[in-house]
Amino acid sequence: MKIVMIGAGNLATNLGKALLDSGNDILQVYSRTLRSASALAGLLGGSPVTDFGSISNDADVYIVSVRDNVIADIVPKLCRGREEKVFLHTAGSVPMSLFEGMALHFGVLYPMQTFSKSKLLNFNEIPCFVEGNDDFAFETVNSLAGSISSKVYLLNSEARKHLHLAAVFACNFVNHCYSISSDILAKHDIPFDVMLPLIDETARKVHVMSPKEAQTGPAIRYDQNVIRMQSDMLRNNPLIKQIYEYMSVSIHHTYKSEGE
Protein backbone atom coordinates (compact mmCIF):
# COMPACT_ATOMS: atom_id res chain seq x y z
CA MET A 1 0.00 0.00 0.00
CA LYS A 2 0.98 3.63 -0.48
CA ILE A 3 1.30 5.35 2.85
CA VAL A 4 1.83 8.87 4.19
CA MET A 5 3.20 8.99 7.71
CA ILE A 6 2.13 11.96 9.85
CA GLY A 7 4.64 12.27 12.68
CA ALA A 8 8.31 11.31 12.92
CA GLY A 9 8.70 10.31 16.58
CA ASN A 10 9.65 7.04 18.25
CA LEU A 11 6.51 5.16 17.23
CA ALA A 12 6.35 6.59 13.67
CA THR A 13 10.00 5.65 13.15
CA ASN A 14 9.57 2.04 14.24
CA LEU A 15 6.19 1.58 12.54
CA GLY A 16 7.31 3.24 9.30
CA LYS A 17 10.39 0.99 9.12
CA ALA A 18 8.30 -2.14 9.70
CA LEU A 19 5.77 -1.08 7.02
CA LEU A 20 8.57 -0.39 4.55
CA ASP A 21 10.27 -3.71 5.29
CA SER A 22 7.03 -5.59 4.68
CA GLY A 23 6.71 -4.17 1.17
CA ASN A 24 4.68 -1.01 1.62
CA ASP A 25 5.57 2.25 -0.08
CA ILE A 26 6.07 5.28 2.19
CA LEU A 27 5.36 8.30 -0.05
CA GLN A 28 5.92 11.06 2.48
CA VAL A 29 6.76 11.79 6.09
CA TYR A 30 5.19 14.86 7.68
CA SER A 31 6.67 16.55 10.74
CA ARG A 32 6.54 20.12 12.06
CA THR A 33 10.30 20.40 11.67
CA LEU A 34 12.18 19.67 8.46
CA ARG A 35 14.92 18.05 10.48
CA SER A 36 12.63 15.35 11.92
CA ALA A 37 10.72 14.89 8.66
CA SER A 38 13.98 14.49 6.69
CA ALA A 39 15.52 12.09 9.18
CA LEU A 40 12.62 9.67 8.97
CA ALA A 41 11.93 10.24 5.25
CA GLY A 42 15.60 9.36 4.65
CA LEU A 43 15.16 6.08 6.51
CA LEU A 44 11.89 5.24 4.76
CA GLY A 45 12.68 6.42 1.22
CA GLY A 46 9.88 9.01 1.00
CA SER A 47 9.86 12.82 0.82
CA PRO A 48 9.86 15.04 3.88
CA VAL A 49 6.92 17.44 4.26
CA THR A 50 6.38 20.21 6.81
CA ASP A 51 3.10 21.78 5.67
CA PHE A 52 -0.27 20.18 5.14
CA GLY A 53 -0.70 21.84 1.72
CA SER A 54 2.09 19.63 0.35
CA ILE A 55 0.68 16.32 1.51
CA SER A 56 0.11 13.96 -1.40
CA ASN A 57 -3.35 12.79 -2.48
CA ASP A 58 -1.89 9.59 -3.96
CA ALA A 59 -1.68 7.48 -0.79
CA ASP A 60 -4.10 4.73 0.18
CA VAL A 61 -3.57 5.22 3.91
CA TYR A 62 -2.61 8.17 6.10
CA ILE A 63 -1.18 7.15 9.47
CA VAL A 64 -1.19 9.71 12.27
CA SER A 65 1.47 9.05 14.96
CA VAL A 66 1.77 12.28 16.89
CA ARG A 67 1.44 13.23 20.55
CA ASP A 68 -2.07 12.65 21.86
CA ASN A 69 -2.47 16.34 22.69
CA VAL A 70 -1.93 17.57 19.11
CA ILE A 71 -3.76 14.82 17.25
CA ALA A 72 -7.13 16.64 17.40
CA ASP A 73 -5.60 19.73 15.75
CA ILE A 74 -4.01 17.76 12.95
CA VAL A 75 -6.85 15.49 11.86
CA PRO A 76 -9.18 18.13 10.31
CA LYS A 77 -6.32 19.63 8.27
CA LEU A 78 -5.19 16.20 7.16
CA CYS A 79 -8.58 14.82 6.10
CA ARG A 80 -9.85 17.89 4.24
CA GLY A 81 -10.06 17.26 0.50
CA ARG A 82 -9.23 13.56 0.73
CA GLU A 83 -12.22 12.31 2.71
CA GLU A 84 -12.45 9.04 0.72
CA LYS A 85 -9.00 7.78 1.84
CA VAL A 86 -8.30 5.59 4.89
CA PHE A 87 -7.05 7.41 8.00
CA LEU A 88 -5.51 5.63 10.96
CA HIS A 89 -4.08 6.75 14.24
CA THR A 90 -1.79 4.76 16.52
CA ALA A 91 -2.66 6.08 20.00
CA GLY A 92 -3.75 3.87 22.87
CA SER A 93 -6.02 6.36 24.59
CA VAL A 94 -7.57 8.27 21.67
CA PRO A 95 -10.94 6.89 20.50
CA MET A 96 -11.44 6.00 16.85
CA SER A 97 -14.39 8.44 16.83
CA LEU A 98 -11.91 11.30 16.64
CA PHE A 99 -12.12 10.93 12.85
CA GLU A 100 -15.92 11.04 12.74
CA GLY A 101 -17.27 13.73 10.42
CA MET A 102 -13.77 14.29 9.00
CA ALA A 103 -13.39 11.15 6.88
CA LEU A 104 -15.42 8.22 5.59
CA HIS A 105 -13.02 5.36 6.33
CA PHE A 106 -10.94 5.38 9.44
CA GLY A 107 -9.52 3.22 12.16
CA VAL A 108 -6.78 2.56 14.69
CA LEU A 109 -3.55 0.56 14.60
CA TYR A 110 -2.14 0.55 18.15
CA PRO A 111 1.16 -1.33 18.44
CA MET A 112 1.62 -1.91 22.17
CA GLN A 113 5.33 -1.49 22.71
CA THR A 114 7.89 1.01 24.05
CA PHE A 115 9.67 2.53 21.06
CA SER A 116 12.85 4.53 20.80
CA LYS A 117 14.26 5.87 17.55
CA SER A 118 17.67 4.51 18.40
CA LYS A 119 16.44 0.92 18.86
CA LEU A 120 14.48 -0.38 15.87
CA LEU A 121 12.42 -3.40 16.83
CA ASN A 122 11.27 -6.50 14.99
CA PHE A 123 7.51 -5.95 14.77
CA ASN A 124 6.62 -9.61 14.34
CA GLU A 125 6.09 -10.23 18.08
CA ILE A 126 4.52 -6.85 18.88
CA PRO A 127 0.81 -7.11 19.68
CA CYS A 128 -1.13 -4.78 17.38
CA PHE A 129 -4.68 -3.79 18.34
CA VAL A 130 -6.84 -2.69 15.43
CA GLU A 131 -10.34 -1.45 14.68
CA GLY A 132 -12.07 0.18 11.72
CA ASN A 133 -15.30 2.15 11.31
CA ASP A 134 -16.46 0.09 8.31
CA ASP A 135 -15.46 -3.03 6.37
CA PHE A 136 -13.13 -1.16 4.05
CA ALA A 137 -11.24 0.57 6.87
CA PHE A 138 -11.11 -2.62 8.92
CA GLU A 139 -9.80 -4.72 6.02
CA THR A 140 -7.15 -2.10 5.33
CA VAL A 141 -5.88 -1.78 8.90
CA ASN A 142 -6.12 -5.52 9.50
CA SER A 143 -4.10 -6.26 6.40
CA LEU A 144 -1.50 -3.57 7.17
CA ALA A 145 -1.10 -4.83 10.74
CA GLY A 146 -0.97 -8.43 9.53
CA SER A 147 1.87 -7.53 7.16
CA ILE A 148 4.10 -6.46 10.07
CA SER A 149 2.99 -8.51 13.08
CA SER A 150 1.82 -12.05 13.77
CA LYS A 151 -0.16 -10.80 16.78
CA VAL A 152 -3.09 -8.74 15.52
CA TYR A 153 -6.15 -8.36 17.73
CA LEU A 154 -9.47 -6.60 17.11
CA LEU A 155 -10.18 -4.31 20.06
CA ASN A 156 -12.61 -1.41 20.43
CA SER A 157 -11.65 2.05 21.65
CA GLU A 158 -13.14 1.63 25.12
CA ALA A 159 -11.20 -1.58 25.85
CA ARG A 160 -8.05 -0.12 24.27
CA LYS A 161 -8.19 2.75 26.77
CA HIS A 162 -7.91 0.26 29.63
CA LEU A 163 -5.22 -1.70 27.81
CA HIS A 164 -3.20 1.50 27.46
CA LEU A 165 -3.57 2.27 31.18
CA ALA A 166 -2.37 -1.28 31.97
CA ALA A 167 0.61 -0.69 29.64
CA VAL A 168 1.49 2.56 31.43
CA PHE A 169 1.88 0.55 34.66
CA ALA A 170 3.67 -2.42 33.06
CA CYS A 171 6.11 -0.30 31.06
CA ASN A 172 6.29 3.43 31.77
CA PHE A 173 6.05 3.15 35.56
CA VAL A 174 8.27 0.07 35.58
CA ASN A 175 10.93 2.01 33.68
CA HIS A 176 10.59 4.88 36.14
CA CYS A 177 11.23 2.40 38.96
CA TYR A 178 14.40 1.35 37.09
CA SER A 179 15.30 5.04 36.88
CA ILE A 180 14.80 5.68 40.61
CA SER A 181 16.84 2.53 41.31
CA SER A 182 19.60 3.78 39.04
CA ASP A 183 19.66 7.17 40.83
CA ILE A 184 20.01 5.48 44.23
CA LEU A 185 22.89 3.32 42.95
CA ALA A 186 24.64 6.27 41.28
CA LYS A 187 24.66 8.19 44.57
CA HIS A 188 26.61 5.31 46.11
CA ASP A 189 28.89 4.69 43.12
CA ILE A 190 27.37 1.29 42.34
CA PRO A 191 27.05 0.65 38.59
CA PHE A 192 23.47 0.08 37.35
CA ASP A 193 24.64 -3.09 35.56
CA VAL A 194 24.56 -5.08 38.82
CA MET A 195 20.77 -4.63 38.76
CA LEU A 196 20.25 -6.25 35.34
CA PRO A 197 20.05 -9.92 36.45
CA LEU A 198 17.36 -8.92 38.96
CA ILE A 199 15.47 -6.85 36.37
CA ASP A 200 15.60 -9.72 33.87
CA GLU A 201 14.44 -12.35 36.34
CA THR A 202 11.60 -10.09 37.56
CA ALA A 203 10.37 -9.89 33.95
CA ARG A 204 10.98 -13.59 33.25
CA LYS A 205 9.08 -14.71 36.35
CA VAL A 206 5.73 -13.37 35.15
CA HIS A 207 5.99 -15.63 32.10
CA VAL A 208 5.58 -18.67 34.34
CA MET A 209 3.57 -17.39 37.32
CA SER A 210 1.15 -14.54 37.96
CA PRO A 211 2.56 -11.23 39.26
CA LYS A 212 0.79 -11.92 42.56
CA GLU A 213 2.55 -15.27 42.94
CA ALA A 214 5.85 -13.66 41.93
CA GLN A 215 5.83 -10.87 44.52
CA THR A 216 8.75 -10.79 46.98
CA GLY A 217 10.38 -8.13 49.18
CA PRO A 218 9.94 -6.29 52.48
CA ALA A 219 6.40 -5.04 51.76
CA ILE A 220 4.86 -8.48 51.14
CA ARG A 221 6.75 -9.92 54.14
CA TYR A 222 5.53 -6.83 56.00
CA ASP A 223 9.00 -6.29 57.42
CA GLN A 224 8.07 -3.08 59.20
CA ASN A 225 11.61 -2.35 60.41
CA VAL A 226 12.95 -2.45 56.87
CA ILE A 227 10.02 -0.50 55.42
CA ARG A 228 10.42 2.25 58.03
CA MET A 229 14.18 2.42 57.53
CA GLN A 230 13.96 2.49 53.72
CA SER A 231 11.26 5.14 53.78
CA ASP A 232 13.47 7.22 56.08
CA MET A 233 16.42 6.82 53.70
CA LEU A 234 14.34 8.71 51.13
CA ARG A 235 13.54 11.65 53.42
CA ASN A 236 15.41 14.13 51.21
CA ASN A 237 13.27 13.25 48.21
CA PRO A 238 9.61 13.64 49.28
CA LEU A 239 8.14 12.56 45.93
CA ILE A 240 10.12 9.30 45.79
CA LYS A 241 9.37 8.75 49.49
CA GLN A 242 5.64 9.02 48.73
CA ILE A 243 5.98 6.53 45.89
CA TYR A 244 7.85 4.17 48.23
CA GLU A 245 5.15 4.41 50.90
CA TYR A 246 2.14 4.09 48.60
CA MET A 247 3.74 1.14 46.82
CA SER A 248 4.51 -0.60 50.12
CA VAL A 249 1.00 -0.03 51.48
CA SER A 250 -0.53 -1.19 48.21
CA ILE A 251 1.55 -4.39 48.19
CA HIS A 252 0.67 -5.06 51.81
CA HIS A 253 -3.07 -4.49 51.12
CA THR A 254 -2.98 -6.77 48.08
CA TYR A 255 -1.66 -9.74 50.02
CA LYS A 256 -2.72 -9.38 53.63
CA SER A 257 -6.14 -10.91 52.94
CA GLU A 258 -4.50 -13.90 51.27
CA GLY A 259 -2.28 -14.79 54.22
CA GLU A 260 1.29 -14.78 52.93
Q: Which residue, 43 or 163, has its beta carbon nearer to its own copies?
A: 163
136 binds its own copies (CB under 8 A): no
203 binds its own copies (CB under 8 A): yes
Q: Which residue, 43 or 240, has its beta carbon nearer to its own copies?
A: 240
Q: Report, in Å, the least distance between residue 171 CB and its own copies.
A: 5
211 binds its own copies (CB under 8 A): yes
User: Alpha-carbon torsion 198, 200, 206, 208, what sign?
Assistant: negative
Q: Contacting its own copies (CB under 8 A), which of 98, 173, 235, 258?
A: 173
Q: Report, in Å, the least distance between residue 21 CB and its own copies.
A: 18
Contact positions with its own copies (CB under 8 A) in 33-72: 67-69
257 binds its own copies (CB under 8 A): no
171 binds its own copies (CB under 8 A): yes
179 binds its own copies (CB under 8 A): yes
120 binds its own copies (CB under 8 A): no
**In this structure, what DSSP letter does residue 199 have?**
H
Q: Contacting its own copies (CB under 8 A), which of 144, 165, 256, 258?
A: 165
**Degrees to nearest 5, angle at CA 58 with 53 and 61:** 95
The dihedrals phi and psi of 155, each to the nearest 5 degrees, come to -150, 135
Q: CB within 8 A of 30, min separation 6: which ones?
A: 4, 5, 6, 7, 8, 37, 49, 50, 52, 55
Q: Which of 117, 110, 114 is nearest to 43 (CA)?
A: 117
Q: How far apart are the first and last CA of the chain?
A: 55
Q: Which of these ranges, 24-32, 40-48, 52-60, 124-132, lies near its own copies under the rule CB under 8 A?
A: 124-132
User: Taking the CA atoms of the chain, what radius of gyration do you get in angstroms?
Assistant: 22
Q: Which of 52, 90, 58, 49 is nearest to 71 (CA)?
A: 90
- Cβ-contact 148, 124 below 8 angstroms: yes
Q: Which residue, 43 or 234, has its beta carbon nearer to its own copies?
A: 234
Q: Which of these ranges, 24-32, 47-55, 57-65, 157-165, lies near its own copies under the rule CB under 8 A?
A: 157-165
